[in-house]
Structure 1
């Protein structure tokens, strides 16, 4: 193995040592190595695995990433961090921060849309007013980060109702429909299935329905905050993996 992160060499670690330090079981350590989450362990003459501190750091980083973005995406990201350039690794981590910030912004917009539903004038936040009185399906899909086909599906399911303003029946979404689409996006992001979302959307013009939806959106924001904290906690270990890889593994810029 190459030098451990942090400077001086240390005695090789056994699978049990890595498991104890990372909080995973020995079998999970072997499985995550097989999946490429951690670098391949060195092998001794008798075939036993020999690990270094970077394997522990990679596993800790994986735990935080899995909490922040899910296990599959976390595995892919760690592979990118170990095989891309340092600049690419930094950009990949930044993308996760940006994605979480975007989810938070969208949940806050959904909250404002929900508040607007209860307002007598049915106004929306000034930010949306500045965006214009309506959006095309392409514009709204881009703003929400979904595909136009997703908006069409939501329409078929009775979740949002666009305006149709041309002879070609091109969809345009007024402020009310934009607000509804933001709420649907937030609910779907929270894990609600279509029937549950439909029930929530049909309840929005009742006070108890708005309160329940407001509670759901607060939970959504709390979960995004927890995922962001998990990513921040993984930061030092992620940096250690990138630093180790820059010195030990062949990279694109070498």
Structure 2
């Protein structure tokens, strides 16, 4: 696609509702292609630059600033593979979080099912602290800190004095991880855990379901951003060395 008309920096800024300086910063950072210059030194932006800006603005909401920067910089240096790798990493992260949420909801709903014994087979083992941390994907130091805050109450092995996490503590731990990731403070998490301890997990279920809704919105935002990315690559890929068969 070749454009015969050029856009001013102000035109780009107004089109995507950012400042003129941000347009220049995006160009300097490689998020949009380098613009040609007129004999008098003015930047000569085209529809390609506008499409790149629209793609960046859309992707930031789902992929975040660091990943969006890495994706677009890789694309503009001709490395579509690296760009797709970064995209895939984000999708894998979202899939992992969704799985954790579904597992937590399943565990919490088990507590509300009167036909299921409280000590179900969900966690038949007692995990030491290192394994418990690995199960939920956090550091051991986090479990120590949450215990100090009164959020966790691991058992102690009578002979070795090792901390042990049974079924109930693993339920609590998963809820703590999810609520901390969602930005909840300890003074909010503690009442939710108290509801769990009292056999009333409804409040915890509502909080985790809210987290699932937020994740769904994030996933949808990623899809919208990816649609613009796909269109951008399809339209302008040949300029970066990608043929029609390279991204289909």
TM-score by length of 1: 0.78
Q: Paired residue for 2:42?
A: 48
SS at match of 2:73: helix
Asked if 1 retains the 8 angstrom alpha-carbon contact of 2:74 and 2:80, the reply is: no
Q: Paired residue for 1:101?
A: 95
Residue 181 of structure 2 is aligned to residue 189 of structure 1? yes
Residue 230 of structure 2 is aligned to residue 239 of structure 1? yes
Structure 1 residues 53-105: Cα deviation after superposition (integer angstroms, max 9, x where no partner): 33333323323332224334433443344447322222211111111111111
Residue 157 of structure 2 is aligned to residue 165 of structure 1? yes
Residue 216 of structure 2 is aligned to residue 220 of structure 1? no
SS at match of 1:47: coil
Task: Name the larger-Rg structure.
Answer: 2
CA–CA separation in structure 2 for the residues paired with 1:29 and 1:95: 27
Runs of 5+ in structure 2 lacking a partner? 242-248
Q: Paired residue for 2:125?
A: 133
Asked if 1 retains the 8 angstrom alpha-carbon contact of 2:195 and 2:203, the reply is: no
Asked if 1 retains the 8 angstrom alpha-carbon contact of 2:195 and 2:201, the reply is: yes
Shift of the 77–115 alpha-carbon distance from structure 1 to 2, 3 Å rule, reads same
Q: Paired residue for 1:153?
A: 145
CA–CA separation in structure 1 for the residues paired with 2:42 and 2:233: 26
Q: How far 1:150 sits from its partner (Å)?
A: 1.5
CA–CA separation in structure 1 for the residues paired with 2:82 and 2:40: 37
Structure 1 residues 140-170: Cα deviation after superposition (integer angstroms, max 9, x where no partner): 3233222222122112211122233375543
Structure 1 residues 174-211: Cα deviation after superposition (integer angstroms, max 9, x where no partner): 1111111111111112111233222322233457x633
Q: Paired residue for 1:78?
A: 72
Q: Paired residue for 1:143?
A: 135
Runs of 5+ in structure 1 lacking a partner? 1-6, 250-254
Shift of the 13–167 alpha-carbon distance from structure 1 to 2, 3 Å rule, reads farther
Aligned counterpart in structure 1 of residue 191 of structure 2, from 196, 199, 203 = 199
CA–CA separation in structure 2 for the residues paired with 1:10 and 1:81: 24
SS at match of 1:172: strand
Asked if 2 retains the 8 angstrom alpha-carbon contact of 1:83 and 1:245, the reply is: no
Asked if 2 retains the 8 angstrom alpha-carbon contact of 1:19 and 1:29, the reply is: yes
Instruction: Choose 16-25 or 176-185, whichever is displaced more.
Output: 16-25
CA–CA separation in structure 2 for the residues paired with 1:150 and 1:58: 40
Asked if 1 retains the 8 angstrom alpha-carbon contact of 2:154 and 2:164, the reply is: yes
RMSD: 2.9
| Greater relative CO, 1 or 2 (CA 8 Å, sep 6+) | 1
Q: How far 1:226 sits from its partner (Å)?
A: 0.8
Q: Paired residue for 1:4?
A: none
Q: Paired residue for 2:202?
A: 211
Matched length: 238
TM-score by length of 2: 0.80
